[in-house]
Homo-oligomer: A and B are copies of this chain.
Amino acid sequence: MSTIAKALKLLELFSETRPQLGLSDAQRLTGRDKATVHRHLVALEAAGFLEQDADSRAYRLGPALTRLAGMRARTVPEVEMIRAETDRLSRAAGELVHISRLHGFDLVDVYHAEHHDHPVRVSFDAYGLPPLLATSSGMAYLAFSSRHLLDMAVADQRTWVPGGQPPDPDSLRGDLAAIAQRGYARNRDSLRLGVSSVAIPLFDAAGRAVATCSIAYPTSRGGKQVEARLARLLMQSGAALSAAIGGTVPADLHAIWTPSHERAAS
C-alpha cells in the first residue's frame, strides 16, 4: 500500500462519534508504528488536511478540506459528481440505476446508468415523467419530506397512480411511515407490470430531500431476496450519493442505512 493511501486512510478515521483523535488513538486504530503515524499526521497537518488542537494536541479535520470541497462544488457540475457513484452502484447491482430530481411534482431524469449482463432488462423512457405517488422514487422522496408536501401532492391529480383509485391520505401516511422506518421505498408491478424498483432519497447540505436514486429490475428476477440485496446496495451508496452533491444524510436515517457493525468498523 502506498504511503499516500496510508496517510489518506487516517482521514477516514474521523467520524461524528470520533471527531478528533490523538497520536495514540490513530496508532491503535491503524496498527501502524507510532513514528509512522506521527509523520503522516504532521504531513496532513502541514497541508491543512488536519489541524491540531493547541491544548489537547489532538488532531481534527482541517480547513483545506472545506476549501477544496468548495472548489469542487463550484467547478464540477452536479451530474458529474454523482456519475461515478451511480455507475459503481449500477455495476454492483447489475441493474438500471436512476437519479431523479423533483421539479414541482415531476421527477426528471438527472442521470442513469445501466451496467448489467442480464439478457432481460428493464426498458425505460427518460422523458416518461411517471407520477409521483406511483413510483418508489416519489414515495422515497415524500417519506422524508414535510407532511405539507404530501397534502399538496394528494391534491394534485397528476401525481396519482394512473387508472387507479384516488389516493387515501391516511393510508398513504402509513405507507410513508413504513418507508421512513425501513429506509427505502419499494414498488412491485404497481406502475408497470413486470417492473419492480427500490428507491432512496438524496439530501442537500441542509438535510432536505432534493433528489432520489432508484434501482429498477424485472419482477421476474426474483422476490424478497433480490429486493433485499438491491436495497442493501442502494442504502450502502446512500451516504456517498448525498455527499457527492454536497449534502448530508440525517442522522436517524443514516443509522438505518448503516448497520451498527459496519459503523463500528469504520
Residues 29-77 of A at the B interface (beta carbon under 8 Å):
39-40, 43-44, 46-47, 49, 51, 53-54, 60-76
A132 to chain B, nearest CB (A): 28
Contact B65 A15 (CB under 8 A): no
Binds B, one of A78-86, A157-165, A219-227: A78-86
Indicate if A265 sits at the interface (CB-CB under 8 A): no
A213 to chain B, nearest CB (A): 14
Question: For the complex, would chain A's binding face be called helix, strand, loop or mixed by DSSP majority?
Answer: helix
Given the known A-B contacts A4-B43, A43-B2, are A72 and B76 also in contact in the complex, defined by CB atoms under 8 Å? no
Residue in A53, A65, A83 with the greatest tally of chain B CB atoms within 10 Å? A65
Contact B39 A2 (CB under 8 A): yes
Cβ contacts under 8 Å, A205 to chain B:
70, 205
Contact of A4 among B40, B68, B81 (CB under 8 A): B40
Indicate if A191 sits at the interface (CB-CB under 8 A): no
Once bound together, how far apart are the Cα atoms of A14 and B70, in whole Å?
11
Interface residues on A, range: 35 or more
Indicate if A19 sits at the interface (CB-CB under 8 A): yes
Contact B61 A243 (CB under 8 A): no
Indicate if A11 sits at the interface (CB-CB under 8 A): yes
Q: A4-B44, A63-B84 are in contact. List 12 more A-B contacts (CB 8 A).
A: A3-B4, A8-B43, A9-B47, A14-B72, A19-B75, A54-B87, A61-B72, A62-B72, A63-B240, A65-B72, A67-B243, A70-B243
A–B pairs, 28, beta carbons within 8 Å: A3-B3, A4-B44, A5-B43, A5-B47, A8-B44, A9-B47, A11-B64, A14-B71, A15-B75, A16-B71, A16-B74, A19-B75, A54-B87, A60-B75, A62-B84, A63-B81, A63-B240, A63-B243, A65-B65, A65-B69, A66-B69, A66-B81, A67-B239, A67-B240, A67-B243, A69-B70, A70-B205, A70-B246
